[in-house]
Amino acid sequence: MTEPTFATLVSRWYEENARDLPWREPGVGAWAILVSEVMLQQTPVVRVLPAWQAWLARWPDPAALAADTPAEAIRMWGRLGYPRRAVRLQDCAVAIVERHGGEVPDKLDQLLALPGVGTYTARAVAAFAYGQRHPVVDTNVRRVVSRAVAGEPDAGPATRPVDLVACEELLPVEPAAAVLASAAFMELGAVVCTARSPRCPVCPVGSVCAWRASGQQAPAGPTRRPQRYAGTDRQVRGLLLGVLRETTGPVPHQRLDQVWQDDVQRARALAGLVTDGLVEPVGEASFRLVGDGPAIQPVGP
């Protein structure tokens, strides 16, 4: 009798243990899946759930978001973090309307050409929305494959072409089975084969895991040092955006000056928001969320 493959073992486990998440429900469209994948980048599921539901209630399809302003996208993004994702999603919606008639494309090259859609997100949408066989490789998947196949405790900080190859070699040939396996690999890394506290005794591939067989321990510290938040430019940027989100239209510079005492750091954070396309100046003494009002008229003779 043939032994079950790695993908089969993980897929069986997934079918019995997968978390009940709304973007995994049958019939969820490609736009909803695209939004979930963008929101889930560097953000826990528990924070994404209410934001995802509110976003789709307001903008159920790309055309709805494309017709709105980047400022409203930033407002709806709230405190999910990394708010440039909101602007990229709005840019993406505009591109989907202009290039694809308002429908999220199903071809990988077209997905990759959308603003803000990278290697992981494009393959995730192609797989989970359209049932295509692609290696869907995020941090969790890389860790699972690195440990179980290569016997290494950690896969490193960034996805490499070799990671896509290693994952694709584990996928079943049949597309539906490959999609199931891709979701299963991600789930295993998220809830069992975690970075610091792996639950090896309940792992469905523990008996064939090269890392477990080697007896190696999980790294004592994180692969990447956690980013400090308190007192950083990120905190100041968040405070500035908080004021701008709560106000429609221009906010006087004097109001923004109140959010942080360090003039140099505050000015640097505000300049960074402008550079990132989140905030724009209005005249010489005010700022607003990008696109939050009539177009700015050029100054000149």
Q: Which residues contact 88 (CB under 8 A, 6 or more apart)?
A: 38, 115, 116
Asked if the model's pLDDT at residue 231 lies above 80, the reply is yes
Average pLDDT (45-65) is 97
Q: What is the pTM of this model?
A: 0.90
Asked if the model's pLDDT at residue 298 lies above 50, the reply is no
pLDDT at 28: 96
Average pLDDT (132-155) is 93
Give tens-digit pLDDT for 178-228. 999 999 999 999 999 998 889 999 999 999 999 999 887 666 555 555 567
Give tens-digit pLDDT for 157-182. 778 888 999 999 999 999 999 999 99
pLDDT at 299: 39
Q: Mean pLDDT, the chain, as a whole number?
A: 91
Please tell me the least confidently modeled range out of 46-55, 198-207, 228-237.
228-237
Report the catalytic residues. 37
Asked if the model's pLDDT at residue 295 lies above 60, the reply is no
Give tens-digit pLDDT for 253-291. 999 999 999 999 999 999 999 999 999 999 888 999 999
Sheet holding 279-282, edge to edge: 251-252, 286-289, 279-282
CA angle, residues 79, 82, 86, in degrees to nearest 5 = 80
pLDDT at 277: 94
pLDDT range class, residue 50, cuts 50, 70, 90: very high
Average pLDDT (131-146) is 95
pLDDT at 190: 95
How many Å apart are CA 34 and CA 39, to the nearest integer?
9
Q: What percent of the chain clears pLDDT 90, i.e. is strictly above it?
A: 80
pLDDT range class, residue 300, cuts 50, 70, 90: very low
